[in-house]
Amino acid sequence: MSSTEPGLQADFIFFSNIHIADYLLSEFEIRKDTSFCTSLWILIQIRTISMALHTVTQIHIQKSDLHETKIYQESFNDIDLETGQLLLRVVRFGFSANNVTYAALGDKMGYWGFFPAKFAADVVLDDQQFGILPVWGFAEVVASKHSDIKIGKRVYGYLPFASHVIVTADSVKKTGFVDVNPSRKSIHKVYDQYLFVDNDLAYDASREVWQMNFRPLFMTSFVLGMHVRDNCNEGQVLMSSAASKTALGAASYLRSLKHREFKVIGLTSPSNLSFVEDTGFYDNVLSYHALPELDANSTTWLLDFAANGNLHDQLHAHLSTNFIKTSLIGATDWSAENKPSMKTLNSSVFFAPSEVQQRLSVMGQADFMHAYATAWKNFARIAGSFMSENQFEGIEQLLELYDKALENKLDTTTLVDASF
């Protein structure tokens, strides 16, 4: 057997560079008297494990024309990961009008910067013209070069519209880690955190679809509701795109307030009118054709999830000086030719992550999370009666899902369960 030992030693030198030699010795207990065939078989198996290839699929979206998409695929080898990096396989994710907002405001708000349209560092793609849409969902660690994070770990967080993503794990704790990948141009640290589901108190394996669709949205709903509660004491608060999940969440919070001096009115399309009314979250619901029915003598604050300039113009014409304020939260009507003018109205952009940080600094994390959990349970209890799940799997169905979202044709009563 001595004639085979130099070959085995050479293989050990190769494998040691990728931390396989220790694994080989400890798990398989190779000895010098191991038969040549057995040694060869073991080395082949370990080499196969250590050089696992993954087919990575990304959906690229043209920033200047959101209808234009292209599919990018490449093979990625585990051994190309750098120290501290993880390869995450995107298992499942939610999708809603909120994702259209990410695309529509991608350049202005920085959402295109999270996941550039390229994968490996040595692959040059046109990430100036194309971007990858962010989504919220669950992923699994399928390759790891971080000593504290093992393969198979399941995480929840901000993911790309793709089958895989490389992250660089930092600040690793029992609850999760932060991605500090230099290619990631983040706009707020809340988007860079990944939670380990086995240490996430809010995680429920039987309700993953609810979590990935509502968890990011309801946090916005919650702090938006608190913001309105603290800054409005009369008149009427209007919500455009009243059937959207973020609007429904905010309306449910405002509805739960015991002492409220203002009305909450939902504005929606005729096709969604009955659904929005049936939720019971709004004091009144009107279609966009019925704006003249609004009380023109009441001071009015618009929470705008649509970003349609025509709506602003009509409200201004009807309400005149009583149209006192607009908060822009989303852009579900992203294709509207007439955009709201931020200069001519008392307008501001409501950025939820900043509001969350402000609330945390005032309330403390324990009180804030308790209030959030209470509001979430109240909403989920009611919403469970009118929300259903719908699965989209594979590139063809995902493109169909994306097109529906662009055309504002997603079923508002559906929670999306999407996967590659």
pLDDT digits (tens, 9 = 90+) for 369-420: 889 888 988 898 888 888 889 999 999 999 999 999 998 888 888 899 999 9
Residue with tokens 């060869």: 40
Residue labelled with tokens 């409200």: 315
- Average pLDDT for residues 9-37, to the nearest whole number? 44
List pLDDT tens digits, range 196-205. Answer: 999 887 788 9
**What is the pTM (predicted TM-score) of this model?**
0.73
* Mean of all residue pLDDT scores within the chain: 83
Long-range contacts of 188-193 (CB under 8 A, 24+ apart): 188/353, 188/354, 190/353, 190/356, 191/114, 191/134, 191/158, 191/353, 192/158, 193/157
DSSP lists the bridge partners of residue 156 as: 138, 195
Residue 162 has pLDDT above 60, yes or no: yes
The answer to whether residue 110 scores a pLDDT higher than 90 is: no
**Buried (b) or exposed (e) across 226-236, using 16+ Cβ within 10 A?**
bbbeeebeebb
* Token output for 213: 């669709």
Q: What is the DSSP letter of 294?
A: S
Short-list 203, 173, 165, 171, CA closest to 189: 171
pLDDT for residue 184: 87
**pLDDT confidence of residue 331:** 55
In one-letter notation, the amino acid at residue 101 is T
Q: CB within 8 A of 64, min separation 6: which ones?
A: 129
Task: Tell whether the model's pLDDT for residue 49 goes beyond 80.
Answer: no
C-alpha torsion 123→124→125→128, nearest 10: 130
* Range picked from 184-193, 230-239, 341-350 for highest mean pLDDT: 230-239
Q: At residue 165, does pLDDT exceed 80?
A: yes
The pair of three-digit structure tokens given for residue 331, joined into one six-digit string: 């852009």
Residues 243 and 251: their CA atoms lie apart, in Å, by 10
**For residue 201, which phi and psi values (nearest 5 degrees)?**
-65, -25
> In angstroms, rounded to a whole number, what is the distance separating the alpha carbons of residues 398 and 90?
13
Q: Quick one: the chain helix, strand, coil %, rounded to 5?
A: 40, 25, 35
pLDDT at 88: 97
Could you read off the pLDDT of 52-103 as tens digits, one per residue? Answer: 889 999 999 999 899 999 999 999 998 899 999 999 999 999 998 888 888 8
pLDDT band, very low/low/confident/very high, at 340 (cuts 50, 70, 90) = low
What mean pLDDT is predicted for residues 15-38?
Answer: 47
Identify which of 352, 245, 347 has the alpha carbon closest to the alpha carbon of residue 302.
347
Structural domains of the chain, ranges and CATH numbers in brackets: 2-50 (no CATH), 56-203+394-419 (3.90.180.10), 216-358 (3.40.50.720)
Q: What angle do CA 94, 142, 71 make, to 5 degrees?
A: 55
Question: How buried is 123 (Cβ within 10 angstroms: 0-12 exposed, 13-18 middle, 19+ buried)?
Answer: exposed
Segment 116-136 mean pLDDT:
74
At 207 the pLDDT is 86
Residue 193 has pLDDT above 60, yes or no: yes
Q: 305 versus 252: which is more confidently predicted?
A: 252
Predicted confidence (pLDDT) at residue 10 exceeds the cutoff of 70: no
